Structure 1
């Protein structure tokens, strides 16, 4: 029987970084669902389709294939056979993903793939609605959050490190907008699962957050006997 850990939380809370680290520590498969939604968003942008264009989205999805492969332990996203992983952290792609994720066809495209991965493997899966919608029976649920200021700072430093221009106030504005979109969408909105362990990472190091997740995993193992 597989063991599943679900990590939810707002954009920039550190979900992907923490989930990768915890997956390596526990020997689990890491599934970045946000990257999967970003792949669809990237395809929509490339095709010139707006998130409100339901017919256009459905047409793009009809011929789209998304695969997850692993290279040196890192998840890679193949969109129609093309590795698009390097393009998925662009701010415009993230905003499009947040807007298009409310489309039921987009969610349907990815939901079964995500659940099949969790059924067949010990996984750590992160996103916006993993513990509440995708894997409601996950063995461990974590709601990872951080202040808007801290999340903006992390994103700012990430962009600067890549040699890209960055405006702190614009990043804060984008984060607040995405939070509102994610929390108020009609289908599977971002919210804390009732049985989730809440971790505010604003003042914690990556090892400190990871230790809390590993502790929750070990406690769950004890309860399962």
Structure 2
């Protein structure tokens, strides 16, 4: 706990793919001495395990059965958060293009979302959590004391992903932009907990802005919110 800012709140950061949510949320959590929960990694883990077991991703019953018995843990590590699925480290495996292309389909499954939301709420029960995803402020943590909707232009989000692929990417920038646009549409149009900005969330557009600048803004907002709540309680 940060002795200078002792009151702990929950911070929800939502937004589309490639907006920088995970990086920003992780750094905000570190600055505030909070726990970072990467909900997207949890859905990716379910997707990876489903693919590795040869499940049909449009088979709702199979996915529901998988999610109900799958143990997913998020642990701190030197290089960032470690993702375990049934005790196996799948941190690097869940970032493949195959998982990325399929995770929206898996995350749209009602039973999968219900199970993951249950685990995520448990993680946030003690407060002091920064959680990022697509429905945190609207569905998972609707009572979060600070909600942010982080976005960026599709081209900028595609450019960021393109740079992450290194010197010899297997996909073009235009292809990545098309994939991001498709995922935006799938996430926004799904029936279960669609991607949308909560009514009380602050919209932050990261286009043309540095990660450090965005982190500083959210940290400041978090400290202000915590101080305001502490003042009301005293």
Q: Same fold (TM over 0.5)?
A: yes
- Taking the TM superposition and a 5 Å limit, the aligned residue runs for 1:25-174 are 25-72=31-78, 74-160=80-166, 164-174=169-179
Asked if 1 retains the 8 angstrom alpha-carbon contact of 2:68 and 2:115, the reply is: no
- The corresponding residue for 1:215 is 220
Asked if 2 retains the 8 angstrom alpha-carbon contact of 1:156 and 1:171, the reply is: yes
Q: Give the Cα separation in 2 of the matches to 1:116 and 1:4.
A: 12
Asked if 2 retains the 8 angstrom alpha-carbon contact of 1:160 and 1:166, the reply is: no
Instruction: Identify unmatched segments of 5+ residues in structure 1.
Output: none
Q: Give the Cα separation in 2 of the matches to 1:149 and 1:113.
A: 33
In the alignment, structure 1 residue 196 sits paired with structure 2 residue 201: yes
- The corresponding residue for 1:205 is 210
Asked if 2 retains the 8 angstrom alpha-carbon contact of 1:182 and 1:190, the reply is: yes
In the alignment, structure 1 residue 3 sits paired with structure 2 residue 12: no
* Counterparts in 2 of 1:6 and 1:62: CA distance versus 1, 3 Å: closer
Q: Give the Cα separation in 2 of the matches to 1:159 and 1:187.
A: 31
Q: Give the Cα separation in 2 of the matches to 1:32 and 1:195.
A: 22
Secondary structure of the 1:24 match is: helix
- Select 1:15's aligned residue among 11, 21, 26: 21
1:74-106 per-position Cα deviation (integer Å, ceiling 9, x unaligned): 221111110000111112212211111111110
Count, aligned residues: 224
How far the C-alpha of 1:135 sits from its partner, in A, is: 0.3
Secondary structure of the 2:83 match is: strand
Moved over 4 A (4+): none
Secondary structure of the 2:125 match is: helix
CA RMSD for the aligned pairs? 1.5
Instruction: Identify unmatched segments of 5+ residues in structure 2.
Output: 1-6
Which stretch of structure 1 is more off in the superposition, 129-138 or 107-116?
Answer: 107-116
How far the C-alpha of 1:70 sits from its partner, in A, is: 1.7
Q: Give the Cα separation in 2 of the matches to 1:180 and 1:50.
A: 22
Q: Give the Cα separation in 2 of the matches to 1:72 and 1:38.
A: 21
Asked if 1 retains the 8 angstrom alpha-carbon contact of 2:11 and 2:129, the reply is: yes
Q: Give the Cα separation in 2 of the matches to 1:74 and 1:135.
A: 23
